[in-house]
Amino acid sequence: MKKILLGLLFLVTFGGLMGCAAQVETQVSEIASESPQVTTEITTEPETEPETEPETELETEPPVDYKTIKPNESGEIMIVMYHNLSERNSEYARTVESFKSDLQRLYDMGFTTIPMSAFINGSYDVPAGRTPVVLTFDDGHRTNFNYLEKEGEIEVDPNCVVAILDDFYERNPEFGRSAVFYLNAGNPFGQPEYIEEKLQYLYDNGYEIGNHAYDHEDLSVLNAEGIQKALGRNVQHFNQINSQLQMASLALPYGKAPSSDLLRQYVVEGDYETAAYHNEIVLKVGWKPTRPIYSSGFDPSRVHRVQSGDGDMQLTWWLNQYEKTPEKRFISDGLANRVSVPNAFSESINMDKLGELELFLYDPES
Ligand SMILES: [Zn+2]
């Protein structure tokens, strides 16, 4: 008790000197809640102080409530893998209703979508306290992006993925508006007559495309030339339709990659005719969340995804886990250029990968 009082007196005196009424109030009320005897005596005093804070202090104080939010920007991030929307839920399909309820649950649990490009450059810029999530859709199914023709006009099918995401974002801007579609050259989105409009729509509205090989080739059975043809030819094909959309990541067809390191390098980068490609991230058909790109031991050529669905190790399962252990998630500090990490996890950060980002270590208990 004596210790607490001494501490409180110091805080009040110090706070008075600094004219820092707001800061003292916060600290005092937290301590006072543990020692009701001193509540009146202490909390009344700071209120008599003017409600002003020196400008310099505002600039140096991070606008982050570390005690409440407990940001952990070394925590887990899910890259969710979807394929088709269908009448029934199955291993690679989700009904419209289930997809909508996935989005709602993610949103309600504090997730915000980020583009794959943001994941790649380590800019997990979501509101404080929220968790970034990347949504991916493989194979370019028509249910991902479908146009309806009505009286000579075209409109986006309200039950396709793009329309559902647009609508969800409009009603919940904090969810963000991002997804990446992993496409093959064959017949992406099933309506060849509209492919130019669709790709332009994706670009104009912040969506992304990624490489899924020209003809969905199994890259594990190809030689160096074959891998470069499958990947470079796909890039070349989409560049010819829309040169603004860049393929900076790859979802491995069938989740399969060559086993030899020599051939794996062609999965990451290579050339084919006029097209060069560099996949900053190579995605597997995974079963678990990943970590930020600046994490120790992060291998961008083997990144796990969480498959959508209600089975073991699928999205619903992982969300159930996070309800029990929310501290495992990446929790944002809300600051784009700072990576806030509790002291205990300092070794999970690879300093060489931080680039321009500032590492801020803190003790969540003090
Ligand atoms: Zn596929």
| Segment 108-121, tens digit of pLDDT | 999 999 999 999 99
200, part of any domain: yes
Q: How confident is the model at residue 7 (pLDDT cuts 50, 70, 90)?
A: very low
Say yes or no: 56 and 87 in one domain. no
| Residue 147: CB atoms within 10 Å | 20
Mean pLDDT of 123-137: 95
35/94 same-domain check:
no
Residue 363 lies in a domain: no
Predicted local confidence at residue 247, as pLDDT: 97
CA 254 to ligand 1 centroid distance, Å: 6
Co-location of 156 and 288 in the same domain: yes
Question: What's the 213 CA to ligand 1 centre distance in angstroms?
Answer: 9
Mean pLDDT of 256-285: 96
Average pLDDT over residues 178-185: 98
Please state the φ and ψ torsions of residue 136, each to the nearest 5 degrees.
Answer: -125, 150
**255 alpha carbon, distance to own chain's centre:** 21
Q: Give yes or no for residue 203 having a pLDDT over 90.
A: yes
Cβ atoms of 37 and 2 within 8 Å: the answer is no
| 231 pLDDT higher than 50 | yes
**Distance of CA 83 from the midpoint of ligand 1 (Å):** 8
Q: According to the model, what pLDDT value does residue 353 have?
A: 95
pLDDT at 260: 95
38: domain range?
A: 2-61
Helix (H, G, I), strand (E, B) or coil at 38: helix
Helix or strand or coil: residue 43? Answer: helix
pLDDT of residue 242: 97
Share of the chain above pLDDT 70, in %: 83
Residues 125 and 39 in one domain: no
β-strand partners of 93? 84, 90
**Is the pLDDT reported for residue 16 higher than 90?**
no
How distant is the alpha carbon of residue 170 from its chain centre? 19
Q: Is residue 68, in this structure, part of any structural domain at all?
A: no
Q: Give the three-class secondary structure for 258.
A: coil
For residue 123, the model assigns a pLDDT of 86
Average pLDDT for the chain: 86
Kindly state whether residue 192 falls inside one of the protein's structural domains.
Answer: yes
Q: Are residues 99 and 229 in the same domain?
A: yes
- Decide if 292 contacts 71 (C-beta within 8 A): no
Q: Which of 32-46, 135-149, 209-223, 337-351 has the lowest average pLDDT? A: 32-46
| Neighbouring C-beta atoms of residue 63, cutoff 10 Å | 9
Place of tokens 């490009």: 117
Please state the rounded mean pLDDT for residues 142-167.
Answer: 96
Q: How far is the CA of 247 from the centre of ligand 1 (A)?
A: 16
Residue 56: inside a domain: yes
Q: Residue 337: count other Cβ atoms within 10 Å of its Cβ.
A: 9
- Tell me the CA–centroid distance for residue 84 and ligand 1, in Å: 10
In 3D space, the residue among 71, 67, 69 whose CA is nearest the CA of residue 27 turns out to be 67
Distance 285 CA to ligand 1 centre (A): 9
The answer to the question of residue 315 being in a domain is: yes
What Å distances lie between residue 181 and 81, 194, 356, CA to CA?
A: 10, 16, 29
39 lies in the same domain as 105: no
Res 48: pLDDT? 43
For the residues 245-273, what does the mean pLDDT come to? 96
- Ligand 1 centre to CA of 212 (Å) is 7
Quote the ligand 1 centre to 215 CA distance (angstroms). 10
Output the pLDDT for position 62: 54
CA-nearest of 53, 27, 55 to 42 is 27
Q: Tell me, yes or no, whether 70 lies in a domain.
A: no
Q: Which is more confidently placed, 12 or 272?
A: 272
pLDDT band at 50 (very low <50, low <70, confident <90, very high): very low
Query: Is there a domain that residue 364 lies in?
Result: no
C-alpha 185 to ligand 1 mean position (Å): 12
95 vs 97: CA distance, rounded Å: 5
Q: Residue 47 and residue 218: Cα distance in Å, rounded?
A: 69
pLDDT band at 41 (very low <50, low <70, confident <90, very high): very low
d(CA 71, CA 339): 9
Number of domains in the chain: 2
- Residues 232, 305, single domain; the answer is yes
